[in-house]
Structure 1
Amino acid sequence: MTAADCTLEHVFDIEVLFGADRHIFGPLPGGGSQGYTPAIGGTISGPRLSGRVVPHSGADYALVRDDGTIELSAHYMLEADDGTSIYIQNRGYLVRAAAGNTQPSYFRLTPYFRVPEGPHDWLSRTVIVGGGERRTDPDRSLFRYYALV
């Protein structure tokens, strides 16, 4: 194995619950529309991080492009089981599936973290990638994250 070789290590999963207060407006200059969906809570579980999504601490600010691709930009706060506050910014793409399919055909993202020095500061110096899945009843997204090692 060389320094350029990479592998993925599962680090944690997040379930983000969304509220009913959604807003979409547009069309925007240049096309598309802007969306806003508040995060009302959720959970974090996994081998390297456990905790919760802090209720009402942020939202998904999605750009819905004319080609059906959604550019994700979500910001919210996490709280580890030990009380550490963690800021997450999720950036990525969700591509809508063909009509009749409830799951997107592509839902991938790259999160960035801000975290104080301590047991979770590895988040602020590790490349992490993830995949998402949409669910309803209740309205939520499930994310699985992997560290690039």
Structure 2
Amino acid sequence: MGPREFSVPADHNAEFIGELGFEPAFSVTIKHDPAVVIGGPKGERIYRKVTGGTVKGKINGTFYPDGTGEYSLGRSDGVIDINAHLLMRDENGEWIYLYNTGYLRPDGYYRVTSWVDADVRGKHGWVLGLFFIGSGKLAADGRSTTIDFYEVT
């Protein structure tokens, strides 16, 4: 069975292919403790405990420090596989969950794909089912990360 047998030619027509765009959504500055590095069989596990931070844009609020953080993997090629679980709270007290996965290269190139979860009955239900990408930068002192997020449209 070849790869063409899994495809239906009709689904490749122009009317089935939407335009791809990016719309600014929000920017975050995540404050965290310096990394704790633990050696393991797959590389170095990197943990950064979130201590606070801010969210600005279509969502405005702060990061909740307890129970959230980065649980990444430092690979032998110098790339860090990002894995971060974060809780935000908007200015009205509504909770929002942010999951980031991506990578940080040794040259500073930092990209994540992100999923955002919020209460369907709340102000931020608009994030549900959307896909976000982010471009970030780890601060030189290792105590914060800034990421600009874009909604994929």
TM bucket (normalised to shorter chain) is: 0.7 to 0.9
Shift of 1:113: 1.9
Q: Does 1:139 align with 2:143?
A: yes
Aligned to 1:32: 43
**Alpha-carbon spacing, 1:63–1:138, altered in 2? closer, same or farther (3 Å):** closer
Amino acid at match of 2:111: R
Question: Could you state the TM-score of these two structures normalised by the residue count of structure 1?
Answer: 0.85
Shift of the alpha carbon at 1:119?
1.7
Residue 33 of structure 2 is aligned to residue 23 of structure 1: no
**Cα RMSD, aligned residues only:** 1.7
Amino acid at match of 2:152: L
Deviates more, 1:65-74 or 1:135-144: 135-144
Pick from 101, 112, 123: which aligns with 1:91?
A: 101
1:66 and 2:76 correspond: yes
Report percent identity of matched pairs: 27
Match of 1:14 among 16, 24, 28: 28
Residues 45-64 of structure 1 aligned to structure 2 (within 5 Å): 45-46=56-57, 48-64=58-74
Is 2:138 the partner of 1:128? no
**In structure 2, how many angstroms separate the alpha carbons of the residues matched to 1:68 and 1:16?**
22
Return the alpha-carbon distance in structure 2 between the equivalents of residues 121 and 136 of structure 1.
35
Larger radius of gyration: 2
The match for 1:110 is 113
Structure 1 segments of 4 or more deviating over 2 A?
none
CA separation of 1:19 and 1:25: change in aligned 2, threshold 3 A: same
Contact 2:49–2:65 (Cα < 8 Å) also in 1: no
| Structure 1 alignment gaps of length 5 or more | 98-103
Residue number in structure 2 paired with 1:100? none
Partner SS state of residue 122, structure 1? helix
Match of 2:18 in 1: 4
Q: By how many angstroms is 1:6 displaced?
A: 1.1
Q: Which 5+ residue runs of structure 2 have no aligned equivalent?
A: 1-13
Give the secondary structure class of the aligned counterpart of 2:65.
Answer: coil
1:50-103 CA-to-partner distances (Å, cap 9, x unmatched) read: 111112341111100001110000012100112110111111111011xxxxxx
In the superposition, the TM-score normalised over structure 2's length comes to 0.83
Offset at residue 122 of structure 1 (A):
1.6
Q: Which has the higher helix share?
A: 2
- CA distance, structure 2, for counterparts of residue 129 and residue 82 of structure 1: 25
